[in-house]
């Protein structure tokens, strides 16, 4: 296949209808199509992932978002092997996730909390603000108090780590699908009920990043990556004065006085290399 990509798209179309369907949807030829009554596999030589949703059975539509393609593929394969999930889509970037979600309309998104530059939390915010909101389960490399707080702030319903077994992650997905929350034991022991939803309240003060709002965290990451306030504003589609206000507030909360100190703090907290 060389550089071609293989994506599984659940169409369940009779063979006689496929050529007409792909001609109408894709508008061009050159795609290898396999399968009969089973999910159709498309070889997309130079295109980005596309996903369509039309599952013929009741069940959850699940989307996996992780910047590691191998992790995406492995999780997708395991979820597809169960009878509890109707369909699975994957994305490896925030932009792909938002675009695919509009077509696929997932019930639940399993989202990597450790995506570079806090993009996982920004992706969650965009998905939850979309016209067809979903429920979010974050998967993290390891328990991170700042990530747990950020997950709750954006409105996620679950948080687990990649040290869990697949059975534990599947159980968490199904629990969230029933309208409940699902947190790993290390996070759940410090969850406190509140009128606005669960609150993470560990006994120690924890990381200083826990004081920041998701927007302030995003500004911190952009500044730590070397962006100016003007570039941050362009990237975040905000007014320059708004970003400057976020910068002033986060520096005051973190008790730092320069961007250099911000970069050092971000590196110490594992947010940048």
Q: At the top level of CATH, which class does the domain 48-200 belong to?
A: alpha beta
Residue-level pLDDT at 11: 38
- Using CA atoms, how far residue 112 sits from 25, 40, 85, 169, 187, in Å, is 30, 27, 19, 13, 16
Could you tell me the two tokens for 44? 């997309």
Reported confidence tier of residue 70, pLDDT bands at 50, 70, 90: very high
> Which of residues 222 and 158 earns the better pLDDT score?
158
Kindly state the DSSP code that residue 15 receives in the 8-state scheme.
H
Domain map (residue ranges) of the chain? 1-47, 48-200, 208-268
First vs last C-alpha separation in the chain: 34
Residue-level pLDDT at 272: 61
Residue-level pLDDT at 99: 92
The pLDDT of residue 7 is above 60: no
Q: Which tens digit of pLDDT belongs to each residue from 86-134?
A: 899 999 999 999 999 999 999 999 999 988 767 888 899 889 888 677 9
| Helix-helix angle 229-236:240-254, to 10 degrees | 110
3-state DSSP of 197-234? CCEECCCCCCCHHHHCCHHHHHHHHHHHCCCCHHHHHH
The pLDDT of residue 199 is above 70: yes
- Measured CA to CA, the distance from residue 244 to residue 167 in angstroms comes to 45
User: What's the predicted TM-score (pTM) here?
Assistant: 0.60
> Which of residues 116 and 5 earns the better pLDDT score?
116
Kindly state the DSSP code that residue 162 receives in the 8-state scheme.
T
**Residue 91, Ramachandran bin (φ over 0: left; ψ between -120 and 50: alpha; else beta):** beta
Reported confidence tier of residue 31, pLDDT bands at 50, 70, 90: very low
Angle at 154 between CA 153 and CA 159, to 5 degrees: 85
% of the chain at pLDDT higher than 70: 73
- Measured CA to CA, the distance from residue 71 to residue 166 in angstroms comes to 12
CATH of domain 208-268: 1.10.10.10
Residue-level pLDDT at 33: 35
């Amino acid at each position: 296949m060389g550089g071609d990509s293989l994506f599984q798209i659940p169409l369940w179309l009779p063979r006689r209808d496929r050529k007409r369907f792909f001609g109408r949807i894709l508008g061009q030829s050159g795609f290898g199509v396999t399968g009969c009554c089973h999910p159709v596999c498309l070889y997309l030589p130079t295109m980005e992932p596309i996903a369509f949703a039309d599952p013929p059975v009741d069940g959850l539509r699940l989307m996996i978002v992780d910047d590691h393609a191998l992790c995406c593929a492995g999780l997708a394969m395991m979820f597809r092997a169960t009878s509890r999930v109707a369909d699975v889509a994957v994305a490896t970037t925030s932009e792909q996730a938002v675009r695919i979600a509009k077509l696929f309309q997932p019930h639940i998104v399993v989202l990597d909390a450790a995506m570079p530059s806090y993009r996982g939390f920004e992706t969650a915010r965009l998905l939850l603000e979309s016209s067809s909101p979903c429920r979010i389960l974050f998967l993290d490399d390891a328990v991170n108090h700042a990530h747990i707080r950020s997950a709750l702030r954006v409105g996620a319903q679950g948080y687990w780590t990649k040290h869990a077994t697949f059975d534990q992650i599947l159980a968490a997905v199904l629990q969230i699908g029933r309208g409940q929350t699902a947190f790993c034991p290390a996070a759940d022991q410090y969850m406190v009920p509140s009128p606005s939803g669960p609150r993470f309240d560990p006994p120690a003060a924890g990381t200083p990043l826990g004081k920041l709002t998701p927007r302030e965290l995003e500004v911190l990451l952009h500044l730590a990556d070397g962006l100016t306030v003007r570039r941050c504003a362009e990237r975040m589609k905000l007014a320059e004065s708004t970003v400057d206000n976020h910068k002033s507030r986060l520096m005051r909360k973190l008790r730092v006085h320069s961007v250099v100190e911000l970069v050092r703090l971000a590196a110490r907290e594992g947010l940048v290399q």
